Amino acid sequence: MQPFHYQRADSLDVATQAAAQAAARASASDGRSPVEAPVQFVAGGTTLLDLMKIDVMRPTTVVDINPLADRHGGIAATGDGLRLGALARMAQVADHPAVRRDYPVIAQALELAASQQLRNMATLGGNLLQRTRCPYFRDVSWSACNKREPGSGCAALDGINRKHAVLGTSDACIATYPGDFAQALVALDATLEITGPQGRRALRVAELHKPPGSDPNVETRLAPGELITSIVVPSGAWTRRSLYLKVRDRESYDFALASAAVALDLANDGTVRDARIALGGVATVPWRAPAAEEALKGRRLDENAAEAAAEAAFAGAQTREHNAYKVPLGRATLVRALLDAARLNA
């Protein structure tokens, strides 16, 4: 771990200004990789500290935002929807009665995301911003990683890519987004409230993560110094009939090989009035599947309809040597998730 300056922020203004000032001090021509962002916020620290220890991330300033939890760590459920403070802990939200009853896909995604010890520490905002578990990114002995060293190449393209993405990939990067919670939020059309040096703004969770394209080192649409403060999930007819299904190598705890966040609005005869689908474990970003949603609308949700939706969801998949199995696995995961959600009492 490299030396760094520690600063504790007791207000949003202090946090965002500290980040902006540290960014301004960093010279654009000092030859540092963008991974070496001059300032990082820390709350739970369950991702950042690991990456600092293995020398993948080397911030010069770490701003502790835990003092902001009193104002930005709450949970509020109303008739209009759900408001989650970005500094709420994963375990706290997963155990909340209103979340479990009215937004089960969120509770399940959080419960399946990590061990109990990590869920007790990790915050919602930090979980959304976690970085890939691609071994070529996390091992600095591999020089070819465009996320870590822009322009160096992607060792995963022709390497061991069994766990890598088949959707949203590019010639520069096929690293999989590792999270679970983001898929639930994308499926439910959640919005982020963001504060930064230039003020406040809103951003859809579906727009937060940036597909790799030619610059995979730029992973989100947050500007320097911006901080997620709240997550707003609108109410809807589909939120109670929702679930998160995760398929992994180990049931005890592992990252998804394929997952599906599904929310349905069904008529009494089983016809799909609306469907919300997001996929995990198979894409470079939390992946909304609008073609699959459209394939279901107006149809009775039976196995044939679910299979048609799954085919549509993976129509654009691009596979590599070791990860082609993710396409049939992802389809089967989505079919099972849809049929299980259809059987829920909502």
> 236-290 pLDDT, tens per residue?
999 999 999 999 999 878 999 999 999 999 999 999 999 999 999 999 999 999 9
pLDDT for 117: 92
Confidence of residue 36 (pLDDT cuts 50, 70, 90): low
For residues 27-40, average pLDDT: 59
- CA distances in angstroms from 5 to 13, 129, 225, 319, listed in the order given: 18, 22, 16, 43
Q: Residue 258 falls within a domain, yes or no?
A: yes
User: Total structural domains in the chain?
Assistant: 2
Confidence of residue 51 (pLDDT cuts 50, 70, 90): very high
Number of C-beta neighbours around residue 204 at 10 A = 13
For Cα atoms 148, 326, 316, give the angle at the middle one, nearest 5 degrees.
80
Please name which of 192, 225, 197 lies closest in space to residue 63, comparing C-alpha atoms: 225
Measure CA 34 to chain center.
Answer: 20
Strand partners, 271: 300
* Eight-class DSSP state of 123: B
Q: How many other C-beta atoms can be found within 10 angstroms of the C-beta atom of residue 202?
A: 10
The residue among 342 and 116 whose pLDDT is bigger is 342
Position 133 pLDDT exceeds 60: yes
Checking if the pLDDT of 316 tops 50, the result is: yes
* pLDDT score of 30: 53
Q: d(Cα 298, Cα 294) in Å, to the nearest integer?
A: 9
What does the pLDDT average to over 107-129? Answer: 95
Among the candidates 14, 44, 66, a domain finishes at: 66
pLDDT computed for residue 330 by the predictor? 98
Residue numbers of the domain that contains 27: 5-66
Helix (H, G, I), strand (E, B) or coil at 121: helix
Element (H, E) at 83: strand 81-85
The pLDDT of residue 1 = 82
Give the pLDDT score at 68. Answer: 96
Instruction: Please give the mean pLDDT across all residues of the chain.
Output: 94
The verdict on residue 161 lying in a domain is no
Specify the CATH number for the domain of residue 339.
Answer: 3.30.390.50
Please indicate, yes or no, if residue 127 is contained in any of the structural domains.
Answer: no
Is residue 144 in some structural domain?
A: no
Is residue 256 classed exposed, middle or buried when 0-12, 13-18 and 19+ CB atoms within 10 A define those classes?
buried
Is 230 a residue whose pLDDT tops 90?
yes
Q: Any alpha helices (H) in the chain, and if so which ranges? A: 12-25, 48-53, 69-72, 90-94, 97-102, 104-111, 116-121, 124-128, 135-138, 181-187, 205-208, 290-296, 303-313, 326-342
Which of 47, 66, 85 corresponds to the end of one domain?
A: 66
| pLDDT tens per residue, range 139-148 | 999 999 999 9
Give the lowest-confidence range in 34-38, 49-53, 269-273, 337-341: 34-38
Does the pLDDT value for residue 29 go beyond 60?
no
> pLDDT > 90: what percent of the chain?
86
| Cβ-Cβ contacts under 8 Å for 202 (sequence gap 6 or more) | 191, 192, 193, 194
Q: How far apart are CA 286 and CA 24, in angstroms?
A: 31
> What's the rounded mean pLDDT across residues 286-310?
98
Residue 34 confidence class, pLDDT cut points 50, 70, 90 = very low
pLDDT at position 77 over 90: yes
Phi, psi of 167 (to 5 degrees): -125, 140
The answer to the question of residue 145 being in a domain is no
Position 113 in a domain: no
Examine the pLDDT at 85 and tell me if it is beyond 60. yes
Instruction: State the average pLDDT over residues 35-42.
Output: 78
Residue-wise DSSP of 216-271: TT--BSPPTT-EEEEEEEE--TTSSSEEEEEE-S-SSS---SEEEEEEEEE-TTSB
Looking at 44, 66, 88, which one is the last position of a domain? 66
Task: Using a pLDDT cut of 70, give the percent of the chain over it.
Answer: 96
